[in-house]
Chains A and B, each alone.
Chain A
Amino acid sequence: MTAAATGGRVAAPLGWRVARLVQRRVETPTAQTLVLSVPDWPGHLPGQHVDVRLTAPDGYQAARSYSLAGPVDGDRIELTVQRVPDGEVSPYLTDVWAEGDPVEVRGPVGGWFVWRPAQTAPVLLVAGGSGVVPLMAMVRARRAAGSRTPFRLIYSVRTPADVIYADELRVRARDDLGLDVTYLYTREAPDGWRGEPHRVGLADVNTHGWPAELEPLCYVCGPTGFVETVADLLVGLGHQTRRVRTERFGPTG
């Protein structure tokens, strides 16, 4: 693991690497997981992200940041990309990019919104929509490390069809001891779900999170309004602000 991966200070420039598409998995009607091959990938921690850069024939470039969706796997990295309809980079990645074609990748980036498998404090993950991506990297890293650290994931989606990683989360929740997964639905709930669709509130976080006395580490990721709401609720429930880590996803294309 490099200094960059562990959040240390790096003197050497973080260079661009050529990455090629290996595999594409459709997660929802608007989200895809892209498996990239990146020679000499230095490794990363769950929660970190990469910059992806595209270059047009005339040299014009556009770059955006995407969270890494899985733990270290040799030269392979996974990104889950939510297609932004009028975006510049995400529609290319989901609709145009073909297997074997190159893009450039730079990273890993970010040393705060990360979970290290050596950590033993209980973990609360709160995801809004595609904000689940870096949190899923933590769930997967926990399993890969054989960690028994207690994890709870609260995952808010608009409708059941919007759940990313639905099949895998079903298996994880069944097989990974000490992992609880709770879904919240804001527009349309599945048959048999108790209650009405609603936006995340105090009762949800209080019921499905950890008591503040257990001093869990809380990771909150999603759209700005969602993150602001959940972070405020956690502070209101007595969680120390330094134990609430946030990452906001905006429609940046």
Chain B
Amino acid sequence: MSPGFQGRRRTTDPALPPGQYLTEDFPVLSAGPTPRVPLDRWEFVLATETGDELRWSWAELMALPQETPTVDIHCVTRWSKFGTSWQGVSLDVLLDGVDTAADYAQAHSYGGYTTNLPLDDLRDGQAWVVHGYDGEPLPAEHGGPARLLVPHLYFWKSAKWVRGLRLTVEDEPGFWETAGYHDYGDPWREQRYQGD
């Protein structure tokens, strides 16, 4: 116990995972400079474990069915933000018909960032490639032109500046995971660091 500590930001909101606090801001966290990716050179590549590749240009991504998920997001640095509104394409659409026996995916970003997730966590309406935030194009510092959105996991799994997914048979740790962060990252189980 910490003598004299009462706590000022108590909340009983059941939508807030343990150890998180609510913010109205949208903090930015990245490990390096913000990449600037011109749309005419942007592409999204889905590579299976056998080396097959599917590619989408920006125009092709825009031509796919669009969704507008409104979700809560939870950053491992302990802020959560409720009711964020995005626009993008469901991973169900991108993965539709893909022949794979992979259990995992590693997301790759412009700028070199990587993060790993189970493939099942990208299916069934749980994940999107989003390019719009709050009705506007997604700003570069928040991951534009497009980022992954996987709101049920800590937000570092929602790779900014995403350029593709590599489907893998083994779980291959990404950038933060190699540096000691959790391979799965469930905010409801406080899976912040390896071993949590």
Chain A positions within 8 Å of B, measured between CB atoms, are: 4, 7-14, 54-57, 60-65, 86-88, 92, 96-98, 101-103, 109-113, 224, 228, 231-232, 234-235, 241-242, 244-246, 248, 250, 252-253
**Residues on the B chain within 8 Å of A97, using CB:** 2, 4
**Residues on the A chain within 8 Å of B34, using CB:** 228, 231-232
Q: Which of B1-54 contact A (CB under 8 A)?
A: 1-10, 19, 21, 23, 25, 27-35
What are 12 A-B contacts defined by CB distance under 8 Å?
A: A8-B180, A11-B195, A14-B193, A14-B194, A14-B196, A56-B6, A88-B21, A101-B2, A111-B180, A224-B27, A231-B32, A234-B33
A224 vs B77: C-alpha distance in the bound complex, in angstroms? 14
CB distance from B148 to the nearest CB of A (A): 20
A55 vs B28: C-alpha distance in the bound complex, in angstroms? 28
With contacts A62-B7, A64-B78 taken as known, whether A246 is within 8 angstroms of B32 at the C-beta atoms is yes
CB atoms of A10 and B141 under 8 A apart:
no
CB atoms of A55 and B1 under 8 A apart:
yes
Chain B positions within 8 Å of A, measured between CB atoms, are: 1-10, 19, 21, 23, 25, 27-35, 77-79, 111-112, 141, 173, 175-176, 178-180, 193-196
CB atoms of B33 and A111 under 8 A apart:
no
A13 vs B182: C-alpha distance in the bound complex, in angstroms? 10
Q: Which B residue sits closest to A232, measured CB to CB?
A: B33
**Residues on the A chain within 8 Å of B23, using CB:** 252
With contacts A60-B10, A231-B34 taken as known, whether A11 is within 8 angstroms of B2 at the C-beta atoms is no
CB atoms of B5 and A56 under 8 A apart:
yes
A253 vs B22: C-alpha distance in the bound complex, in angstroms? 12
CB distance from B29 to the nearest CB of A (A): 6
CB atoms of A62 and B77 under 8 A apart:
no
CB atoms of A10 and B32 under 8 A apart:
no
**Residues on the B chain within 8 Å of A245, using CB:** 31-32
Contact of A10 (CB < 8 Å), options: B2, B28, B79, B180: B180
**Residues on the B chain within 8 Å of A63, using CB:** 19, 78
Other than the given A7-B179, A55-B2, A253-B9, 20 more pairs (CB < 8 A) read A13-B196, A55-B5, A56-B7, A88-B7, A88-B21, A92-B5, A98-B3, A102-B1, A110-B180, A112-B31, A112-B179, A224-B27, A228-B141, A231-B32, A234-B33, A244-B33, A246-B32, A248-B30, A252-B27, A252-B78
A251 vs B32: C-alpha distance in the bound complex, in angstroms? 20
Contact of A235 (CB < 8 Å), options: B1, B2, B33, B77: B33
Contact of B27 (CB < 8 Å), options: A12, A14, A244, A250: A250
**Residues on the B chain within 8 Å of A250, using CB:** 25, 27-28, 77, 79
CB atoms of A9 and B173 under 8 A apart:
yes
CB atoms of A109 and B193 under 8 A apart:
yes
Q: Which A residue sits closest to B141, measured CB to CB?
A: A228
With contacts A13-B196, A63-B78 taken as known, whether A103 is within 8 angstroms of B2 at the C-beta atoms is yes
CB atoms of B180 and A109 under 8 A apart:
yes
- Residue with the highest number of chain A CB atoms closer than 10 Å, among B28, B33, B79: B33
**Residues on the A chain within 8 Å of B194, using CB:** 9-11, 14
**Residues on the B chain within 8 Å of A248, using CB:** 27-30
With contacts A110-B180, A242-B112 taken as known, whether A228 is within 8 angstroms of B78 at the C-beta atoms is no
A64 vs B34: C-alpha distance in the bound complex, in angstroms? 25
**Residues on the B chain within 8 Å of A12, using CB:** 195
CB distance from B170 to the nearest CB of A (A): 14
CB distance from B10 to the nearest CB of A (A): 6
